[in-house]
Structures are given as C-alpha cells and as structure tokens.
Structure 1
Amino acid sequence: MLELALKERIGQENIKAYISKRKNDAKSETGKNIHLQKGLRTYMEYCRDNQLVSNRGFSAWHRYPTQQARHKAEQEQLEWAIAELNRTGKTWIETPGITVKKLPPDENYDHVQHLINHVNHLRNGYAHGNTSLYAEVLQTFEMVSEFINQLYLISNSVSDSE
C-alpha cells in the first residue's frame, strides 16, 4: 500500500529526475557512480529530501522518548531483580510496576531516517512471508497510514492553494 501511494503521489518523471540528480551529485562529489533503483527506499528518500513527510507527522516519533525511558526502567528493574535473586538465593521475586512520565519528543531523533533504514526489510517480510509474527503489526499500519496521510495532505494543500 505504501509503495503504491508513493509511486502515485511522486510520479515516474519526478523519481527519474531525482535519481538522475542524486547520481550526478554523487559523481561530482566523490567521482564514483552510485546505484539507485526506483524502489521503496528511494521513494522514501525522495519524500524526505522534498519535505513531503516530517518527524512530527508520526505518532511513533512523539512516543519514542517515553518508550525509551520505559525500556530503560524495565531493563534496570530486570538487572536489579536478577542481582537480588542471586544475592538472596530466592527463585522468585515480586517487582513493582513501572510508571514513566510522558516525555516531550526528542528533536535529535530522526524517525523519518529510521523508517527509510528499516521499512524496506519490514516490507519484504510481509511481501515474501516469513516464519515470524510481529507484535508491532498495528504500529506498522499506523506508520503506513501516517506516511500516506502526510503525502496527500501536502499534495491537497498545494492543489487547494493553486
């Protein structure tokens, strides 16, 4: 769904021009040829480079600092529990619940780049199948929905102002 939306929104001519420019820029900067395909990653990079999507448009970007804090607290609690079990010789220990205050977004965390780096692997897993089940499937649907909504929100805003 995401790949189709990207292709429809960006168009063949725009992606061809983008790939050509990237190749020419790389050649002039490094003297080397780079290989770019009209694949999901390149389309997503086009969106990033043309400000069609932003970190702020993704719920996961807003949740990231709080999730990281929760993960850190859970890890510290696990380490404490293991040390306590080893110290006391017990085989079971009760741990208190973890409460994490909601944190503001981290301006240094580039969620769009994270998606560019990882969505292709996720897409291939869904497209070609594998033996794993992902608990984060709802987050995948959320991300795809938010990505597409950003693409077409900007498109509609431009169309409305013309």
Structure 2
Amino acid sequence: MSVTGREIDVVAPATDIYSTSYDNKYARGSGTSSATAIVAGAVALIRARYPDLSATEVVHRLTATAVDKGAPGRDDEYGYGVIDLVAALTADVPPLDAQPSTASASADAAPTTTAAGPGSDDDGVVGWLLATGGLAALGGGAAWALAARRRRRDGAVSSAGAR
C-alpha cells in the first residue's frame, strides 16, 4: 500500500495492472495511478447507471458496497475497503438520508463527519472532481480500445499477407 491515512475512502487494485504503452504494446505497471483510473472508471459507470445520484451519493454507493479489508470497519489503510464494481452497480443501497442517525454522541467517541447533501457547495466540488476523474478514465479506456483494435487489425493484416 503506497498511500495511507484518514483521507482514504476506498482502494482498488494497483499491482500488476496491464495497460497500453508505447508502439502499440502493453505494459505491466503498479501504483496509485492505476488504482485511481480504476476508481474513476467505477464512478463513471455508477454515474451512467444512476444519473440522478448526487456526487456524494455516488461516493456513498462505492463505500457502502466496498469489501472490507484490514481492521473491521473503516481504517486508514483500506478506508471502507476494496471497491466491488458489480455490487456498486447492482446492490440495493439505501439513500444517505435513510441512514440511521444517533441522537447523542459520547464525549469519548471519535469525531464524525457527515456527507454534504445534494445542492451543497461540497457536492459541486466533489461532482466536478468525480466528473473529471470519470472523463480521464473514459479517455484512457477509449485509447486502450483503439490501441487494441489497431493491434488486432494489424495482426489480421499480417497473418492474411503471410498466406
């Protein structure tokens, strides 16, 4: 794990990720860039499946369906867990405003934060960040698809010419 801390909400695979490279080839890499692209792609798919969700609700859907790893519950290494895209797209996730709230907090309890509701200033910033990440992931996916198509086409021409 290369990044840890309170800022981690979810994690994604970041080791031995194959992607496009130079000269119509593929390369294996590791690191947060790959994980970021995977999460951004997941966000884009959730937005496409549930276009009426606010940015905060999209994040809630990702965190609510993540597979818990490490210490039980949210932790600084895995956040809420590893994203589970199938669950994020298909699970019955209650909306944020349907979450039970506690009437009182203990003085010994750790401070909690609540997500910003739709229409808040935070929702606009989060939405912009999610949209930008989603577009970057879609662009990367389109580049990969074009490279794969070109590679298949070039392979088909080469093998056809060898007859």
What is the TM-score when the length of structure 1 is the normalising length?
0.25
If asked which structure has higher relative contact order (CA below 8 Å, sep 6+), I would say 1
Query: Which of the pair is proportionally richer in helix?
Result: 1
Structure (1 or 2) with the larger CA radius of gyration: 1
Query: Which of the pair is proportionally richer in strand?
Result: 2
What is the TM-score when the length of structure 2 is the normalising length?
0.25
